[in-house]
Each structure stands twice: as structure tokens, then as C-alpha cells.
Structure 1
Amino acid sequence: MKIITFCMLLCLGPLAGLKAQEKNPYQPETKDQMKAYQRIAFLDSTVSKNVYNMDIKPVWSKDNLSFWYSRSAKDGREVYRVDAITQKKTKILDDRVLLTAANGLGGAHFIPSDIVLTDSSFSEGFSSVRFMAKGKRYQLDLREHKLMEVQDNRKNSYRRNLKRGDTTIGISPNRKWLAYIKENNIYLKDQTNGKSVQLSTDGNSELAYGELTWAPNSEYLIGYKIKNIVAKHVYTVLSSVPNTSRGELVSRNYFQPGDENSSCEMYVFNTSPAHKVIKMNMPKIDFEGPPEIHFTADSKKFLFNRPDRTRQRFRIIQGDASNGTVEDIVDEKSNTFIFLWRVYTQFLPKSNEVIWSSEKDGYRHLYLVNSIHKTIKPITEGNWVVRGIDSVDAVKREIWFQASGMNKGEDPYNIHYYRISFSGKNLVDLTPEIGNHKLKYSPDFKYGVDSYSQVNVAPVHKLLRASDGKKLMNIEQSDITYLTKNKVQSMKPFVAKARDGLTDIYGVICFPSNIDSTKSYPIIENIYAGPHDSFVPKNFVSYGEMQSTADLGFVVVQIDGMGTANRSKAFHDLCWKNLVDAGLPDRMLWIKAMAKQYPYADTARVGIYGTSAGGQNSLGALLFHSDFYKAAVSSCGCHDNRIDKQPWNEQWMGYPVGKHYEEQSNVTHASNLKGRLMLIVGENDANVPPESTYRVADALIKSNKDFEFLAIPGAGHTDGGAYGRRKKRDFFIRYLLNVTPISWNSL
């Protein structure tokens, strides 16, 4: 195999130029490794170039009646126009036309990758196309096939950035008043006579006023007295900066769990002649900063979200601008946590309503809140999950949303698209086909381009009518002939029961492409148990790290255990103050069930690897479940949740920081290590401070434990890149296959 790329060289080093049949001084197993490494390097560098139409990006015309898209093909890029009315597809351009025109201009020489099309490339009517090539802009007349260079007038444009501080300004909706900040206080200037009045008097450098919001009638101005807390520093040292003889210190502001946050107090300022100032009757806000204000249509009252830092209470509060009183319109409380990142609120001031999402009934659903009548009515309900909101039409009183788990017998993580009325009636399934969908609507929401697939079913792309989901035409079918030709295995979905014996746990399996059912293969789990999402692929994957690792002689799996998101609230709640669990009991049961169905998967040789939260999880597997997991590679792990970033860790481990943080730390339990471990860390990690990994190493050393340690100079939050992935594979070859890895330095 003679195709050599830069990526291959990074991965293989001197091996890239060797042929598998050449003599070598290594044992037979090493020769097999060389063949396997050559195969995966070849596929890594060729699959993406030879698998076509995995996705399409429609670019709609101004009238929303047609769109163009670019597709990949064996002969290069092709551009098609689709008429949504006639459902006809017409080829309008290809690389041959572009290159013929471009290379005829002044002796220039372009290749397809030089030419960049953008969303605004085509003129209305598709009479011409503009494109970028080697830093210059060109326009091609598609009728006359004439090409000309176009002057880039954008280089003379600029953007003005307004910063907070003494220059913060705000014009009232009626244009009469100018509100501004001066010397940490709020001033109001009458635009009709130029006179100014000072609205606040007690602002200073430690407690400064700011964040101004006008009422629609220009009678009220909301502002805040803010105590601004600057995060303490964390540090890294760059050891290998060129042309230096000393390490370079890098400092970053970084909030950790338990650190004090900025806080603020809300005030209302009246623009009437008396310029009355009212402090809102509520405790100071000490989490997530000044809230976004939503005035009612009459400007007398306003609504805002108020989550608690404990993540166990979320409120929608209504304030009265005339007297400073507040009342809770929504007051949700949880014994575990409220997943604040997935709380959705859409304020509808004309009807005094709010669309609000909550898991209060066991699954994430939508509710219609009326702030006048203080009523909360369900819009969606059932044992399934709302996954996202695409649009809210306040006039038609309809919501376009995404959900998973509604279709019985289908993978409950697959996303489908729906429309429903505010009343909860007239539910329309726009994407009924089995699979994970990605629907790209036209700007007017009359049409949609739907792309859907499964891990073992290649993508299909169709045009649909968004009023009822009716399929209008097939647009493209992905072409995976290259994968079949090269005998590349697709992932296999697998389902097994969780620790409760009732709940289904979903995962995928990658088998070696040349699997021999008479042999025994070690198992490697790719783990990421971060509770903020689910992670097992649902779309078709042409070729990736899991399959390439499997092709070295492993069965590689990925699983979403209990404690991850996108299922029921009870399924998710397992993670609360319990990240140490990581769903590992479910994962082990899943692997055992998988091996029962596929007996050539060897549960006596199970390894695990992960990055970031997965790094924490993979080491935890060895520390707490060494009877099952025998080897782990842990990259840039957040091994101690007190060290990692505040928002993520407090969401799951809670606030205030309690003893459970220490009790679940991998550092605390390092002395429990059994099995084989490799730690990987980038010395300049800005996501998880590197000391999280170094403290684990320190504790392991003090416990006289054996482990491997790989620090990557200059690298950030990483699994080690191509070098780290090669070291990881060699690690599993040595300790799970029980074979000496290739001696790379001898090649």
C-alpha cells in the first residue's frame, strides 16, 4: 500500500514506508501488527475521500422556493439546484467547469480544494457564481462562462465594539432618554434639553451599577448594583517554547467549585420627574449574573429566570416595576438536581405567556405558563424526551421541536422532529422513518431537508413539506461502496439490561474486520460518562478510532450507562453527587451480555479508555472495579471534582462543596490501583487543570504503584493526539493481547 500521507506519518513514523511482506526482525505477532497498522493508516487517509454524500447543506433562495447544495462525487464536487415546487433537481456547476474557467485566467493553476463556495456564492437566478481561490475573489458568469476577479470591498469595512464601563449607554425606546454609566453610577440625560440627572449615588469600584434594560414605554429602567468577583488564577508552564531557555508561565482566570461568584441587586429607576428609585424586594442574585428582563406588553411588570446555585430550585419571577414587589410564577424544586443547561424559556409578552421546559413529571416536556392567571398547563407529555426547540410561532400558536423516545420499538435516543399546538393537540411527526434525524428547515419553515441514518445504515437525504411531513422527493443517497470494497465493518447496536434488571442500556460494538469466530478477542470500552449528554453514536460512522482500534485485534464498545442524559429523570438522577458511579455497574453487565451473544469477546481481558470526564471514568474503573477492568488509559481526566471547572462540577456534584467531593476523588483512592494504567496529559490544558492528573501521579507514587505517564509538551485538553493514540494502542496490545508492541525506534 503506497499511499502515504502526513497523518499516516504522524501515526506510524518510520513504519509508513514499509511493506508488510518485507522481512523484519520481530516475532510473528509483530508482523501481524505491522499489517494491521498499515491497513488502518491506509483507511484513515482514504475513507473520507471515497465515501460520498454523508451530509448535505441546503442554501435557500430568497423566495424560499429553491435551494442549492454541493455534493461529493468520484469526479469531484458537483452543485445542484432543487426546485421545491416542481421537485426537480438540476446540475448547475461542477469542479471541471470551475477549474477550466479559473485556470484560464492569467496562467493561474488551481486544484479543487483551492476553490471555496460560500452560502452567498450564487446570484438570484443562478446566472453567476462567486468563489474564493488562494485569497482572491472571483465571479464566473454561468451563461457566458466568463471569469473575472472581484474587488473585495469588505476589507474597508469595520466593526465598532462598545465596551462596558464609562461608555455604556442606552437609548430609551421613545428616543427621549439616554441612560449611561459614569463613575460607577447611573445617569439619565434628557435628549430634548440636554440636561442630565444622577439616578444612583452609592456606586463605587467594588459595587458598581450597570446592565441596563429599558421598559417598552420608556417609563422604567432596570439596573443592577454589581459586586464583580474575578476568578483566581490557575497556572500551566510551557516547557518547550522555541528560542527560549526557560519555561513560560501561563495564567488563567478559572472558577472552581465553591469559589465565590459575582452577585448583584436589582433596582428600578423611574423616568418621571421625581426619578424614583426602587430596590426590588428580593435577596441578591448570586448565580449566573444579572438575568435577562422580559417586560409585559403594558410595561408595568416584567419576568425573569432565577435558578439557584444549588441547582435544586428554578423560578420564573414576575416583578412589579411600580412598587418593587416580586412573585413566583414558576417555582420548581428537586430533591436531586435541575438540569439548568436544558431548561428552556420562551417569553411571549403580547399574550403574557411563557413556554417552559421541565422534567418535573419524570421526562423533559414543554409547558404553557400564563403569568396573569398563574396557570401551568402541559403541552407535551409521555414517557419520552423533548430534545430541542426549533421555533415558536406565537401567532399560529405552534411549536416546532425535536424529541426522542416517542416511537416504540426504536432506539430511544434517535431524534425526530415534530410540530404541536400550544394546547398540546395536533401533534405532527415530520420525520417518521426509523433513524436519527437532522432536519434543516427553509427560513419560512415551509420545507425541510431531512438527513437520517443509523450506526449501521448509511444516510438518506430527502425534501419534505413541513406542514405535514409529506416526503416530496429523494435528494441524495450516500455512497459507501468504498467501505464494502475494503471490507470495513459497520458498528453494531446492542441492548442489554441495567443493574435494575428492567432498564434497557444502549451501546455499539466494533468488531475486527477480519474477525475469526474461533479465536478470542480482548474487549476495550471507550467511555465518557459525563452527565450533560449521551455519547453513543446514533448516526452512521464510516470509519473512526473505535473501528481502527478494533482492526488491531480487539472488540471495541461504547455504552451509555445510567447517569447520562436524554432518558428519564430517574435514569439521569443516578449521577447526582455520585459521579464516581459513572454507570459502571450497567456497563459491566452490558459487556457480559454482549460476550454471551458473541462468545469470542473475552470478558477476562477488558480494557477501558477515556478523555476528560472519560479520563476520570477510565481510572475509576480500575480503582473501583479492578475485578473486571484490567487495563486503562486515562487522558486529561478531571480526577478530582474540586479542581475542575465550577459550572460543570457544581451542576452534578452540588453546591456547597461537601465531603463527598473528596470521597469520590481518584486522588483519594489512588492507593487502590490494580491492573495496568497509563496517564496522559497536555501540559497546557486550559479546560481541566493539568494538576488534576499530576496529583493522581503523586498519590500513585506515594503508594508505590506502577503506572505509565505521558505528558505532551505544549498540548492542551487532549488524548495525546496521533502520538498519544498510538501509545494507547500499543499499551492495549501489550497488556490485553499479551504481545510485545512494535519497536518503533528500530524501524
Structure 2
Amino acid sequence: MKAWLCTLTLFCASLHAVTVDEALVVDKAWNNKIYRDEIRPVWLSEQQFWYRVRTGPQATEVVLIDATTGKRKVGADLASLGIPTVLTVKTSLSDEAPQSSRNGPATRITFRNQWKDPVQLFWIDTTGRAKDYGLIKPGDALSQNTSVGHVWRLDDPKQNLVAVVVSKTQELDVLIDGYSRVAEEINARGKSGVGRAPSPDGRWLAEVKSDQLQVTEIATGKTDTVATPADITKPVIEGIHWAPDSAKFAVCVAERVSKRQITLVSPHSGNTEKPKTKVIDYVKPGDELPKPQPWIVHVGNGTPQVVQVDRTLFPNPFIQKHHFDFRWTPDSQEVSFDYNQRGHQLYQILSIQARTGAVRVVVQEKSPTFIDYTQKTWRHWLATGELIWMSERTGWCHLDLYDARMGRPKNPITQGAWVVREVLHVDETKRQIWFMMAGGRANEAPYHQHLCRVNLDGKGLTLLTSADGNHRIQFSPDHSYFLDTWSRVNSPPVTELRRSTDGALICVLEKADISALLSTGWQMPDRFSAPGRDGQTIIHGVIFKPSHFDPAKSYPVVEQVYAGPHGSFAPHEFGVFGRQKQMAEMGFIVVQSDGMGTNHRGKKFHDVAWKNLKDAGFPDRIAWIQAAAKERPWMDLNRIGIYGGSAGGQSAMRALLDHSAFYKVAVADCGCHDNRMDKIWWNEQWMGWPVDESYERSSNKVDAAKLVGPLLLIVGEMDSNVDPASTYEVVKALQEAQKPFDYLPLVDTGHSAAETLQGSRARMEFLVKHLNPSGN
């Protein structure tokens, strides 16, 4: 193994290519050079909203819009337009969000408790976790600095939800005077608890104490203990969920399953002489998982009565917790839960009859490959007893309407050789759905998302956006209007105000100004498409050039790769593209595309990844790069490298194992090089269960002896996402095979180690050294 030097000689490229040091900071010249591009509307009523927009380096203006006419008023600030700077609302405010968005502009919320009870304030972080921000006593107020889009939750002393408030650009003065409408509805349905939950009517408390399930009548204090089955020696009792009638609850009992743990070790130890260590739970493919047993516990007639449920229909769930997530019907007669069978080839919604414990199938999905359970099992329950369900059973991601009571489909809602990407709104009264579709427009990239509306009977499909580009939608509070921001990688954002009924344009709100960005020399990317491995399926991608680009010269090519089946990754909307552009400034042509095996192009396209992660779309991406180079003689395919992180790190190394005739050099960052060693949920999703020889076939560790070409392995020693041992095992295998390679472990660093300053520098220097962009 070569010794790695952290201070390699910098290659000062000719033809105005920059040094590594210059490339690492060149993106600063592009930052904040796009104006009039981002709009966050603040709705004052259903017909009026305002937004603040950047018009220059230090300049903004405030725009007030009449949504019915599109008439606009412009001012320097809110006061100049007569808009109050503080918006006072009561807890009848019912806008709810599951988690905070990432940090927006700074703002402020003041909570004033005008209620009889104290309330507990929680911030809901970007992962959905609640963080305690203290108690607000009756009559007290608490002012909190926050950011636009952050979510705040208020609970009463019994841990019932009082209100959820989403911070806005305008400062909020929240008057707490009772439960919000949404909170009342949630509390009325009964609060779900892992180990403790009161009944909706407040009469009963179900809780787990010392591994025993107890039911207490709150008024009398009488407590009954529910016996645990004798065949469960280490019981875990979780997932208490009351029926709306407060006469029964669902709960799960399971044999405790210990989770695998890994220890992360870093030499960095602060003020001690010991290495830094961190032990984390880390379940891997093939590990034992819990098998929860649902109970229905009836109360109110003496000793609680347990109805045990036959597990015949759900013998082997893929679940890492010890309980299912339950949903009761409004009449309290049935409770449903999801059953994702291990191996991800059978997915069901099952329903338990509360009186007898009988189990029936509401929805069933089967696949000979995999079911994309994390993204394509969306559902919406209707008050009519119907269910809107997302499915890929036709080979394309679509929506179906089900009779949930009978457990059978009524009609397809959407259909065709295109996909539903996301459902934005369901109007149960009008029986209509607004959703984002992709791939349904001829002569347009199949990744561009458009807003559509359709009736629940499958009729009246209406395209509400029309421009050739990727569309992002923001609805008005009552969904009568929407803001449509669309762009392409080579076309700056345009934001329009449209009607939701027919998509009619009311006015153009803003067109992004990129003149300051272009003045820096920043180059617009190229969009390119060409057939993949089969000569028919069109592969789409982007080509990035340096600011000093000269078409008369020849440039080495570097591919940025990420080919995880959970998504698609080549960009399709406008941006500065800092990472790709930094690399290009070194004197490279940087390319990025999505080959077969990635998501959002239909099941056939996606299934290429099944038990075959080493494929990573290489045959498609190589064909795409070759086609691009035929039209662009300045792309030198005799000098082509590749880099990627995580799943992209696995692919980057695989390039030199299976495709070294094409790729000459690779940098692999924090790679999941052996899918047996990585986290269970991601790897079993695509590689299946039980662990079989397909895992070995995709292992970089197993194939390490096939390495041809310069390879740099980077790893963060404290990576809690991909076990660093995955890289360590590859290092060992390469050493045993006596293969030369370079290795950079980064001390006290987590996942995406190559995105740190030191990691980025090493990656750039390695690619420059072996591809020699100065040789133009």
C-alpha cells in the first residue's frame, strides 16, 4: 500500500485551470449570485399573500399580491405596504407538519398562555423528534427565536396535544386559549403510546411496568395485570393504541430481540490518553428481527379480557421495533396494521376484528423482485370506508381506489406509462386528488414533475402545469391557488401564480436573475440524453464544464456517481451545482447520469438493481458518456475517472473491478463495499432475504483482487451510517491481494468524509495526479 501524503504537490494546470486550493474556494464567487429566484408566500387571507424576494447582494423588496387578479404592490418593507409585522393567532390555528424544514430565514414566535393549564413547549426537529423547550405556566409568555418552517408543539399536563404551530416569515404571537381543532381530533382518536397511553375518554390508563401490562381505572385506582404468555421468556410489551370507544386497545407482545451493536473507534481522544469510542445499535442483513404478537384487550366488564390474534398471515415481518403501528376504524370494530414480509416481496394491510381476533387482508402487494415499501406504499383512508392506495402492480407507480371494508379494488385512479411521484392534496368532498406526475409528457425528460388533478373515479385527469421543466408547488391555505416554480438545469427558475381548478395562469410572479452569476464566468450545464445498454431506453444526464472552457482543447472526464436504487440523482432543476463545478474548475468535464436500477422510471427500469447492486447502471452510463463524447470532441475518454460516496463509494470502486477498460482512476468515499456489512433496511430492500450468494457477487471485498487502476479509499472513522469496517475489510482484502492503492482514514469524522475540507482536497489531488488536466 502506498503511503498517503496529506500535502501532495499541487498541479498548476495550464489554460487557466485552477489549483486545488483555488478550486476548494471557487464556489464562494458563485454564492448568493442568483436573485428573484426564491419565494415563500405568507398568506394574509385566502385571496392575498406577500413575499420577500432578494433583488441584489444586500437588497430585498416586499411584494403584496391579490391572488384573484394578480395585481401586485411593491414596497421596501412590510410597513410600507400596511402589512402588520406581527401576526396574532389563537390555538385554533390548525396547520400541522410532521417535522421542521431545514433552516429558513430567522423569525420569532411568542407563546402567551391564556389557558387554565400549563403547557409544555417542544421543538420538532428535522427528523421528527421532539425536543423539550420548557413549561409555560398560565398567564406567562415565552418568546422564542426560530427559523421559517420550524415546527413547535404544545402539550397539556396529560401529554395531550394542544396545538402545532409552524413558524412563518412574519413573527407570530400565539395566544394559547384551548385545544386547536386538529388537536381535538387527534386526542379524540386516542393517543398511541409505546408503553403508556390513557383512553380517549380519560377513564382508563394502560401502561407497561416491569415488563407487565397493567390497566388502571383512573377514578378508582383499581389496577389489573394482564398475564404474559408462558412461552415468551423475555417479553417486550409495546404499541398501546386505544379504540375511539375507549372500550378496548391494541397492543403487541414480543420476545425481546437484542440488536447488534458496533463500536466506532477514533484515535482522537481530547484530553485523555484513551481512543474515542462510540457504541451504536446497528442491525445488519440477516440479523434476527422481532415478531410482534398483536393482542386486543377489552376493558370495562371486570377483569380485562385478551383476544389473541392468529399470526398465520404475518409470520415473518420486516420490523426493527417490537410493535406494529395500529389504526382503528372510526366505529372501533377493526384495527389495521402494515405487514411487510421480510424479503420485501409481500406487503399487506391487515385488519383485525376486535371481537374475535380474526385477521383479513385489506390490501395485498406481491412482487417477484422487491416492493419499494419506503416510497410507494402511500395511502389515504376516506371517511366513506374507501382507501386510496399507491401501487406498482402495473409496472408503473399509480393510485387505486379500494373498498377497504371488502378488501378489494374499486377502480384505478391513475394509469399509463408514467409515474405518480407524490400526492399533494386530497379533497374528500369533491373527491379529487392533486398529485405530481413524471414521465407523462412526450419529448420531455421523464424526471420532470408536473402537477395534475384527477377524480377518484379515474376520470377528469387534468395537467395543471405546462412548461418544460421540473415543477415545485406551493398551495394557498384552501388550495384554490398555487405557486408554480419551474426550471431546468439550463433554465433559471420562473415562479407563476395559477388557479387550482384548471391551472390557468393568473400572473408571473418572478423570473430569476442570474446575470451576476454569469458575470463570474460560471458556465451553464449541458443536458444530454442517449440510449442505454439496450439501445432503446433513453438515459438522461448533465455535463458540467469549467469556467475557462475552450472547445478547441481536450479535457479529461470525471463522473460523479450515485446509483442507489432508492432514488434518481442527476439534477433536473436549476442550481449552482457547487460540488460538480468545483471539480470542473480543476480542468475536468464532470458528468452525471442515472442508469438502469435507479428509481422513478417504472418497475422494469428499477428492477435491474434486484440482487445486483454491483451493476449500478454502468452499461447505461458508459454508453451515455460515449455518446456524449461523440458529439463533444473535447471530452477525452482516454482520461476518465469516477468518484462517489456511500453507495456511490461502492460503485466508484466497482468501476475499477469490472470496468477498468473504461475508467482509469477512482475515489471511493465511505463505501458500503459489502452489502452484508451495511445497515439492514437499505440492503435487504434491494438484495433480499435471506442473505444469499447475490450479496457475495456484489461485494467489493470479495472481488478486491480484480482491481486495475489507481484507487483512493476514504473513510470517516466515526461513520454511523455505513459501518467503517466495510472499508477496513476492503483494505485488508487489497493488501492480501498485494494490490497498490491509496487510503485516507479521517480521524473523528463521520459519513461523507470526502466532503470535509481535507477529504475534498485529497479527492481533487488524486484525480488531478492521475488524469493530468494540465496536459490539455
**What TM-score bracket applies, with the shorter chain setting the length?**
0.7 to 0.9
Give the structure 1 partner of residue 518 of structure 2.
484
Instruction: Map 1:382-401; keep pairs closer than 5 Å.
Output: 382-401=416-435
Q: Does 1:367 align with 2:400?
A: yes
* Partners of 1:233 and 1:346 in 2: CA distance: 34
Q: Give the alignment partner of residue 461 of structure 1, picking from 464, 488, 495.
A: 495
Q: Which residue of 2 aligns with 1:549?
A: 583
Q: 2:276 aligns with which of 241, 248, 260?
A: 248
Letter in 1 for 2:357: G
The 8 Å contact of residues 451 and 460 in structure 1, kept in 2 or not, is answered as: yes
Q: Distance in 2 between matches of 1:526 and 1:357?
A: 32
Q: Does 1:730 align with 2:765?
A: yes
Q: Does 1:576 align with 2:605?
A: no
Alignment of 1:36-55 (within 5 A): 40=23, 43-55=26-38
Please state how far the C-alpha of 1:459 moved relative to its aligned partner.
0.5
Contact 2:194 2:238 in 1 (8 A): no
Pairs within 5 Å for 1:248-647: 248-273=276-301, 275-283=304-312, 284=315, 286-288=317-319, 289=321, 290-348=323-381, 350-376=383-409, 377-647=411-681
Change (3 A) 1:347 1:195: farther
- For residues 177 and 153 of structure 1, do their structure 2 counterparts lie closer, same or farther at Cα, with a shift above 3 Å needed? same
1:188 alignment counterpart: 215
Residues in 1 aligned to 2:105 and 2:386: alpha-carbon distance in whole angstroms: 45
Question: What are the superposed Cα offsets for residues 169-194 of structure 1, whole Å, 9 maximum, x if unpaired?
Answer: 32323333332223323333334544
Match of residue 118, structure 1, among 91, 94, 107: 107
Q: Which runs of 5+ in 2 are unaligned?
A: 1-5, 81-103, 111-139, 146-152, 161-190
Tell whether the 8 Å contact from 1:294 to 1:349 is kept in structure 2 after alignment: no
1:417-463 residue CA offsets vs partner (Å, 9 max, x unmatched): 11211111122222221110110112221221211100000001121
Check the 8 A contact 1:563/1:574 in 2, yes or no. yes
Contact 2:10 2:765 in 1 (8 A): no
User: Counterpart in 1 of 2:131?
Assistant: none
Question: Structure 1 pair 34/561, CA: closer, same or farther in 2 (3 Å)?
Answer: closer
Shift of 1:543: 4.3
Q: Which of 1 and 2 has higher RCO (CA within 8 Å, sep 6+)?
A: 2
The one-letter code sitting in structure 2 at the alignment partner of 1:287 is F
Task: Judge conservation of contact 1:348–1:394 (CA < 8 Å) in 2.
Answer: no
Contact 1:166–1:182 (8 Å) recurs in 2: no
1:221-252 CA-to-partner distances (Å, cap 9, x unmatched) read 11111233232211121212332333112211
Secondary structure of the residue that 2:759 maps to in structure 1? helix
Contact map agreement 1:44 1:543 (CA 8 A) in 2: no
Q: Distance in 2 between matches of 1:582 and 1:738?
A: 27
Partner residue in 1 for 2:201: 174
Which residue does the alignment assign to 2:722? 688
Structure 2 counterpart of 1:216: 244
Quote the Cα distance in structure 2 between the aligned partners of 1:72 and 1:276: 67
Q: Is the 8 A contact 1:634 1:679 kept in 2?
A: yes
Tell whether the 8 Å contact from 2:240 to 2:250 is kept in structure 1 after alignment.
yes
CA change 1:647–1:525 in 2 (3 A) is same
Secondary structure (helix, strand or coil) at the match of 1:733 reads helix
* In 2: Cα distance, 1:95 partner to 1:486 partner: 33
What TM-score, normalized by structure 1, do the two folds share? 0.84
Aligned partners of 1:487 and 1:47: how far apart in 2? 9
Q: Deviations over 1:681-727 (max 9, x none)?
A: 11111111111111111111111111111111111112241222222
Alignment-derived partner of residue 91 in structure 1: 74
1:200 corresponds, among 191, 214, 227, to 227
| 1:64 Cα deviation after fit | 6.0
Residue in structure 1 matching 2:253, options 208, 214, 225? 225
Structure with the higher fraction of residues in helix conformation: 1
Deviating more after overlay: 172-181 vs 554-563: 172-181
Alpha-carbon contact 1:344-1:355 (below 8 Å) kept? no
TM superposition shift of 1:42: 6.1
Moved more, 645-654 or 304-313: 304-313
Which aligned pairs between 1:689-708 and structure 2 lie closer than 5 A? 689-708=723-742
| Distance across 1 between alignment mates of 2:734 and 2:446 | 41
How many Å separate the matches in 2 of 1:47 and 1:724?
22
TM-score by length of 2: 0.81
Aligned identity (percent) is 36
Alignment of 1:668-687 (within 5 A): 668-687=702-721
1:234 aligns with 2:262: yes
Preserved contact between residue 438 and residue 452 of structure 1 (Cα < 8 Å): yes
Query: What SS does the corresponding residue of 2:565 show, helix, strand or coil?
Result: coil
Q: Does structure 1 retain, via aligned residues, the 8 Å contact 2:109–2:144?
A: no
Aligned residues: 674
**For the residues of structure 2 that align with 1:550 and 1:342, how far apart are their CA atoms?**
34
**Aligned partner of residue 424 in structure 1, secondary structure:** coil
Output one character per residue of 1:198-240: Cα deviation in whole Å (capped at 9) or x when no partner: 3334488721323111222223211111233232211121212
Q: 8 Å contact 2:37–2:53 — kept in the other structure?
A: no
Amino acid at match of 2:238: G
Counterpart Cα distance in 2 of 1:619 and 1:562 = 19
C-alpha change, 1:64 and 1:86, in structure 2 (3 Å) is: closer
CA distance in 2, matches of 1:393, 1:611: 42
- Tell me if the contact between 1:416 and 1:436 (Cα under 8 Å) persists in the aligned partners: yes
Check 1:38–1:460 CA distance in 2 against 1; reply closer, same or farther (3 A cut).
Answer: farther
* Distance verdict in 2 for CA 1:525–1:301, change over 3 Å: same
Native 8 Å contact 2:418 2:440 kept in 1: yes
Contact 2:255-2:290 within 8 A present in 1 as well: yes
Q: Deviations over 1:582-612 (max 9, x none)?
A: 0101111111111111122112211110010
| CA distance in structure 2 between the partners assigned to 1:165 and 1:375 by the alignment | 28
Query: Secondary structure in 2 aligned to 1:494?
Result: strand
Relative distance call for 1:681 and 1:26 in structure 2 (3 A) is closer
Deviation (angstroms), 1:167 = 9.8
**Letter aligned with residue 219 of structure 1:** A
Q: Which amino acid aligns with 2:317?
A: D
